[in-house]
Structure 1
Amino acid sequence: MLNKRTQTANLKKQNLITYTRSNSIISDQFRTIRTNIKFLTEEKENKTFLMTSPGSGEGKTTLIANLAVSMAQQKEKVLLIDANLRNPNIHNVFKTSNEIGLTDVLTGKISIEEATYIPGIGKLKVLTSGSTLVNPAELLGNELMIDLLKKETSAYDMVLIDSPTVLDFTETRILANMCDGVVLILQRGKTGMEKAIEAQRVLDLAHAEIVGVIVNK
């Protein structure tokens, strides 16, 4: 069946600096992050990375969206998943609908091929969060999510997952345990040291592998 979400969006009004200003200093910083992740995982099969932060407003969604674009610009096949079912924002960044997405795939309403959005940037595909559910932790913690990640990991060079804040929501810890690596996002001047240390402790308890920390300005 033809993917009905295939289109080239008008992204210029969003925070996708790596798309609108690919030669800027900021875009170069994202290329550095991309390269560092590849160096960290070059001898492993790591392909699935979760990005989270101790609290809200740390710039996590903007960062992961730009990183996904940066990777796709290097001809990598990338899947960006919005697993922040409580406060989704990836669809706003890419100016697309959120009527269908991850939740609809996990509940069997639609296939992932039908739910995936193609913004027209390299080989990037985006799976938005989808319709809101009452219990995100229960949905994201079931075997269907594990199976979805296993299947998509084999189909892509990289799978990036945007998640809720790690100190506030259980599902982030569950997802972190499913992924090959976790990148913790902190914001300079906002994220307190105590919260950063607590986030690391929580992720360690979840047996998550923290592969790096990004301090967002």
Structure 2
Amino acid sequence: MKRDETKKIMQRLKLNEESVSTEQIRMIRTKIDQASDRKSTLFMLTSPQYEAEKSIISTKLAKSYAEQGKKVLLVDANIRNPSLHHWFQISNDSGLSNVILNNEEIHLYYKETLVPGLVVLPAGPSPLNLSDVWVTSKIKDMVSKCEAEFEVVIFEAPAFLTASDSQILANHCDGVILVVKANKTKKEDTLKTKEYLERTNNQIVGVIYQTG
């Protein structure tokens, strides 16, 4: 990634301060750190229905951890509608789907960024049958590889109630971060998501509320 492209990314992060404040991100990070005593931590960031600006939020959170000196992997797990490759201006010709389907190593597909300690794994091509990707045993293997190599892993996942992808991935993460948007996210959808996660013993470690 070119240096001027990275500057543009950082500028866009600052421009979105009103929608998702850096302080809000830090508060979520602090709460997560207090709740976990594990050597490595894996989170899934999702929203109930509305896609929201998850790429902005996941990037800010990943950057926040990297600034602490941690080795961070940011994964675009939204294979149906990927966005992180646009955000970081990298190729999406290969990525997460290759790792899962072919049982390959993560380092073959992740992309370095100019943020020290932060690398990005794009979603990769969408297969004809997405059910081939979201197989519990395959997801478990992929998550284990992430956990072995990184201190913090953040999966940006599809809206929780629109596909089973997020529901499967949540079972292999340490916690879920919910993004809700003012005047967009319905209260009943948020409650449905919360109830499902509680039923499956998945912990909500934070909620980010977008106002802009």
Query: Normalised by the shorter chain, which TM-score bucket?
Result: 0.7 to 0.9
Answer yes or no: is 1:81 the counterpart of 2:36.
no
Q: How much does 1:30 deviate? A: 2.3
CA 138–210 in structure 1, closer or farther in 2 if over 3 Å, else same? farther
Q: How much does 1:157 deviate? A: 1.3
Q: How many residues align?
A: 208
Structure 2 gaps of 5+ residues are none
Structure 2 residue identity aligned to 1:54: P
Answer yes or no: is 1:150 the counterpart of 2:144.
yes
Structure 2 residue identity aligned to 1:37: I
Answer yes or no: is 1:211 the counterpart of 2:205.
yes
Whether contact under 8 Å (1:52, 1:165) holds in the other structure is yes
Trace 1:65-214 onto structure 2 (pairs within 5 A): 65-108=59-102, 111-214=105-208
CA 15–89 in structure 1, closer or farther in 2 if over 3 Å, else same? farther
Whole-Å separation in 1 of the counterparts to 2:2 and 2:15: 14
Q: How much does 1:215 deviate? A: 1.0
CA 113–20 in structure 1, closer or farther in 2 if over 3 Å, else same? farther
Structure 2 residue identity aligned to 1:47: T
SS class of match (2:43): strand
Whether contact under 8 Å (1:137, 1:170) holds in the other structure is no
CA 21–193 in structure 1, closer or farther in 2 if over 3 Å, else same? closer
CA 147–82 in structure 1, closer or farther in 2 if over 3 Å, else same? same
Q: How much does 1:36 deviate? A: 2.1
CA deviations 1:161-188 (Å, max 9, x no partner) are: 0111110101110001111111111112
Whole-Å separation in 1 of the counterparts to 2:11 and 2:194: 28
Compare relative contact order (CA 8 Å, sep 6+) and give the higher one, 1 or 2.
2
CA 100–213 in structure 1, closer or farther in 2 if over 3 Å, else same? same
Whole-Å separation in 2 of the counterparts to 1:53 and 1:123: 26
CA deviations 1:62-93 (Å, max 9, x no partner) are: 10111101211221110111110100001111
Q: TM-score, normalized by length of structure 2?
A: 0.87
Whole-Å separation in 1 of the counterparts to 2:14 and 2:53: 17
SS class of match (2:97): helix
SS class of match (1:168): coil
Q: How much does 1:51 deviate? A: 0.6
Per mean C-alpha deviation after superposition, the further-off stretch among 9-18 and 62-71 is 9-18
Over aligned residue pairs, what C-alpha RMSD do you find? 2.5
Structure 1 gaps of 5+ residues are 1-6
Whole-Å separation in 1 of the counterparts to 2:24 and 2:64: 10
CA 45–119 in structure 1, closer or farther in 2 if over 3 Å, else same? closer
Whole-Å separation in 1 of the counterparts to 2:120 and 2:11: 14
Structure 2 residue identity aligned to 1:34: R
Whole-Å separation in 2 of the counterparts to 1:19 and 1:216: 15
Whether contact under 8 Å (1:55, 1:165) holds in the other structure is yes
Q: Counterpart in 2 of 1:3? A: none
Structure 2 residue identity aligned to 1:75: G
